[in-house]
């Protein structure tokens, strides 16, 4: 995204941490159907899907919203220097994320609010940074916002309450190095239910991928953008909303949520901003005779 997206008076800037080939569709999507894939795959531009290698293109990316005099950072990627035995792709990174952020005009001290769409290893990493051997908040002047269901679910102290996490292995370590230091310093607002953080920004529960997954809606002058996190990983899921990622904690609820979110985005004619879309990184959604289709890829 070379220039910010305008949503009324709001401006949305994309900050990339990583991009490249990820998994195959057959590997990432629970419920993958070969016939459906054959039907829709050529409607996906090559910036999103490498048909020669049969591999998905993806990004780790954050978004900075300028709204009402505030600077709000949505999701914080994988982070540097993290130990990630469950997903080595995101471990021991040394990316220029903070330099990229600064080049876009945002120092880490200038961020007012950090909101995680959900608590997963690749959405919380830059919450903290390594300093003198300790994990400290990367954005020292920010209020961080987490959802209570996710904060409860992923806290290792509560493992006895949630013993059967689908993503436990992949997400090993992230709570202790990227969430707990924020909570311990009293820098987090932990929310439940629909929350209007301030005028023009609303968070709505959208569980399934994780218990506390949420959408974040930006509204200004009658225009809307909806951040959907990992509810939609890839444009294929717009055509095939019954396909979950293998990382969804509650598969049945994840499918219901995806259908509801796609219906809402289409009805409201909103810009949909998923966490990992490559290509143009955002899309709109239209209804078709038998479901939905992404627009503007």
Q: What pLDDT, on a 0 to 100 scale, did the predictor assign at position 78?
A: 98
Question: How many angstroms separate the CA atoms of 60 and 1, rounded?
Answer: 13
How far is Cα 225 from Cα 282, in angstroms, rounded to an integer?
10
| Residue 110's pLDDT band (cuts 50, 70, 90) | very high
* The total number of structural domains that make up the chain: 1
Phi, psi for residue 3 in degrees, rounded to 5 = -135, 155
Q: Provide the domain limits for residue 213.
A: 5-295
CA distance 172 to 186: 23
Q: What is the CATH number of the domain that holds 191?
A: 3.60.15.10
pLDDT at 1: 46
Average of pLDDT values for 214-224? Answer: 98
> Mean of the per-residue pLDDT values for the chain?
97
CA 259, 284, 10: angle at the middle one, nearest 5? 115
Confidence bin at 207 (pLDDT 50/70/90): very high
CA-closest candidate to residue 252, choices 32, 37, 36, 31: 31
65-88 pLDDT per residue, tens: 999 999 999 999 999 999 999 999
Instruction: Decide if pLDDT at 2 tops 90.
Output: no
């Amino acid at each position: 995204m070379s220039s910010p997206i305008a949503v009324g008076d709001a401006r949305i800037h994309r900050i990339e941490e990583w991009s490249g080939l990820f998994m195959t569709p057959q590997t990432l999507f629970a419920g993958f159907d070969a016939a459906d894939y054959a039907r829709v795959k050529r409607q996906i531009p090559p910036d999103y899907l490498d048909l020669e290698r049969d591999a998905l293109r993806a990004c780790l990316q954050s978004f900075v919203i300028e709204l009402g005099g505030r600077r709000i950072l949505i999701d914080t990627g994988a982070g540097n220097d993290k130990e990630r035995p469950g997903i080595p792709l995101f471990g021991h990174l040394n990316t220029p994320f903070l330099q990229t952020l600064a080049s876009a005009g945002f120092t880490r001290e200038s961020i007012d609010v950090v909101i995680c769409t959900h608590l997963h290893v690749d959405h919380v990493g830059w919450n903290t940074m390594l300093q003198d051997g300790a994990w400290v908040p990367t954005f020292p002047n920010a209020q961080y916002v987490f959802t209570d269901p996710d904060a409860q679910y992923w806290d290792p102290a509560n493992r006895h309450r949630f013993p059967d996490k689908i993503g436990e292995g992949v997400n090993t370590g992230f709570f202790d190095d990227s969430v707990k230091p924020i909570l311990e310093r009293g820098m987090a607002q932990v929310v439940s239910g629909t929350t209007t953080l301030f005028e023009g920004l609303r968070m709505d529960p959208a569980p399934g991928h994780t218990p506390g997954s949420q959408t974040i809606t930006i509204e200004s002058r009658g225009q809307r953008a909806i951040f959907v996190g990992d509810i939609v990983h890839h444009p294929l899921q717009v055509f095939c909303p019954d396909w979950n990622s293998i990382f969804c904690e509650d598969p049945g609820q994840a499918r219901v949520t995806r259908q509801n979110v796609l219906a809402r985005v289409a009805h409201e004619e909103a810009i949909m901003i998923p966490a990992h879309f490559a290509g143009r990184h955002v899309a709109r959604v239209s209804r078709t005779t038998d479901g939905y289709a992404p627009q503007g890829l």
